Amino acid sequence: MTAGVSNHKRQDNDKGNAVTTGLQLKRGLLSYPVLLNYPVLAMLFAAVLFGVAAGLLSFGAAAQTVGASGNPLPRFVAMSASKANLRTGPGRQYPVDWVYSRRGLPLEIIDEHGAWRKVRDHEGVEGWMLVSLLYGKRTVMIRGKQRELLDEPKLGAQATIIADPGVIGEIDQCQGLWCEIVIKGASGWIERRHVWGVYATEEIG
């Protein structure tokens, strides 16, 4: 089946899909023979390498703290309302910056203030939204280009769904590199790097 993109948000202006950026590392100037002559320097260099490796393993999974609500920050949620205002600050006295009109849109909560949540969308736009307009159901958005969802979590498996960029699916589970999502009642597996709304090392289900 093919899942099309529905017209989703922000008044009459849709800025397109998110663009991801890569991380590039360059080799340092110190050589191993030089380090071997200085044991302390070698130990410090090894510690730096270990730190870089640990950082790469966690790249894409944001460091979490605990918000005032007792829930972790940042975290992903979905829009529960069919229409929601995104304001410039945590209160009705602040002007509306954008109007969202897509139930189930994945959003990332990055801050909390009373009944308000500061959220970020898949394009990096940030603003404040009432918590009553959000819920904990986890959804993701297809990004980049048209994607195939497979009947098994492995490359070469049979395609069950062809989804356009911008299509939203509900997460059934995420394990390792793969997530199983449901789109209009049909489920399929997709590599998590092809969706927005789940962290790189997050396990769900």
Same domain, 151 and 96: no
Domain that holds residue 174: 140-196
The verdict on 84 and 133 lying in the same domain is: yes
Most trustworthy range by pLDDT among 41-45, 52-56, 96-100: 96-100
* Domain assignment present for 76: yes
Are 114 and 172 within one domain? no
Higher pLDDT, 110 or 33: 110
In a domain, 179, yes or no: yes
Pair (188, 151) in one structural domain: yes
pLDDT in tens, 6-42: 333 453 333 333 322 222 222 232 223 333 344 444 4
Task: Confirm whether 94 is domain-assigned.
Answer: yes
Residues 96 and 127 in one domain: yes
69 and 118 in a single domain? The answer is yes
What is the pLDDT at residue 64?
83
- 124 lies in the same domain as 167: no
Are 128 and 75 found together in one domain? yes
For residue 98, tell me if it sits in a domain.
yes
Picking from 122, 137, 152, the residue at the C-terminal end of a domain is 137
The pLDDT of residue 97 is above 50: yes
How many structural domains compose the chain? Answer: 2
The stretch 87-102 carries a mean pLDDT of: 98
Query: Is residue 88, in this structure, part of any structural domain at all?
Result: yes
Could you tell me the pLDDT band of residue 190, with boundaries at 50, 70 and 90? very high
Same domain, yes or no: 174 and 192: yes
The confidence score (pLDDT) of residue 146 equals: 98
Q: According to the 3-state scheme, what is the secondary structure of the chain?
A: CEECCCCCCCCCCCCCCCCCCCCCCCCCCCCHHHHHCCHHHHHHHHHHHHHHHHHHHCCCCCCCEECCCCCEECEEEEECCCCEEEECCCCCCCCEEEEECCCCCEEEEEEEECCEEEEECCCCCEEEEEHHHEECCCEEEECCCCEEEECCCCCCCCEEEEECCCCEEEEEEEECCEEEEEECCEEEEEEHHHEECCCCCCCEC
Whether residue 42 is contained in a domain is answered as: no
Same domain, 131 and 147: no
Residues 109, 151 within the same domain:
no
Residue 3: predicted pLDDT: 53
